[in-house]
Structure 1
């Protein structure tokens, strides 16, 4: 069975949904089950009470029962178990944008907002649900996920290679593990990236204060080595269009590395890019940025190219996916803005 290496923007792999809330200063004492019901969409009281019985509710990092009363400033965390993974692999008639296909593999262009595999609150509508509908008897990886060799995040668009045979699964997984694949991402980031090109090196691990985020650590004692090469494509005033190539493939690697050097991805909600990070706060500019956010209601990241060696023929194969409309429209909007500023 093929090894499933870490990949850029990989989805949460654990068998839980994670939630964390901090009670504000005006919070009146309230049972923790009622506190959570008002904050988690579609959460039932039974589900919350089961989490409490399982020891999966914490207040200020201490396990609490369902009758614990939340006080101002309390940080409340809860984990919900999701159904067994094999119960989530239901075929769904979801269209696929297939860039290439043969008897061994296929390359798909994943749209933004589509989760790659079920889990962490996304139990249907995923790429895997579509794959098991369109293809019979796909091989499974070490995590029991049909066809998957690598992954990209829900809100990242772009190219993925899917294995149709065990031979392809093992061969392609080894290429990712050996770092011989060729992957380029296009990203729109906040700020003017001064150097025309550069390399970001820094171990990436989970943020101890927010487990849904990753962060850079000074050494590999708390994270895994990660290397990202970037090149400026176009400077657009308060934002920059960059090309990123991965030497490694850690969770959220591009998003974390670019933030680490002061250039958070545009509209990356998880890492704070959904706020105005560069430029003035004048009403006219603020409205412009808000309109740009509406055009691109996700992080500005697209897996544009993918290259690998064919597992059977040995042929070197390279594919490219055009920048999707939402990201292209946002880039054009910034391009026009930058031009008007230069003309003033």
Structure 2
């Protein structure tokens, strides 16, 4: 594994593929540019298309630490960046007063020092690391609010965080920052301007088959091709939520556990809950539709 940014797009593609991620040319290009230019990368797309996996794969391929901040509604600085160890600070103040220290400025400078600072993911990503700058994953940013986005601007632009009581903490070497969004709401333009951007779409049948083979090499070839053909056809149906690549991989694993060698209507019907996560979608995918989709999948498999 290398700790240096790949010298070319082809080298970036090889780096990702070597760690089990099969990118298309456009994704490999923007990842390459993010690494070479030292810019944060914002990946948007439907859930399950492999956005989070880009960060995991980069960390593994480059031998870097992965620091993940899972976003949620109501996320604030104390959970995302830092907070003070108030209990330890109170003890320190009591001890200082008991020792006869009366200078409030001296006490304040002591209790608001780094030893009382609790580092959360964003601040932790700025700390030096012997293996090299970590990969910081800010996952599902669209779950937070605009106030949190505003806080991120300093980090994304200057790789630093300003703490009012302490000052500015800046990374000696900028971390690799990847943000993801499922686009449940629009991300503010001010944040997008500080990032390179890429929309991660559902893969083509050829690439999805390559992903399946890379991640689950034990799946029989014929079954792999039928799985991809079925999922590709299913995505063209009128569903509330079509399956992503993550569901394709889960379904393939489930079918292998059931010793399947080819798709059949009963097996597909029994395992639809692995692919589809809404009851209305499962109900729409009735026996006649399943048979039709299996036939489409079989036609997509090259003759032996």
TM-score (norm 1): 0.20
Which structure dedicates a bigger proportion of its chain to helix?
2
Structure whose alpha-carbon radius of gyration is higher? 2
TM-score (norm 2): 0.21
Between the two structures, name the one with larger relative contact order (CA 8 Å, sep ≥ 6).
2
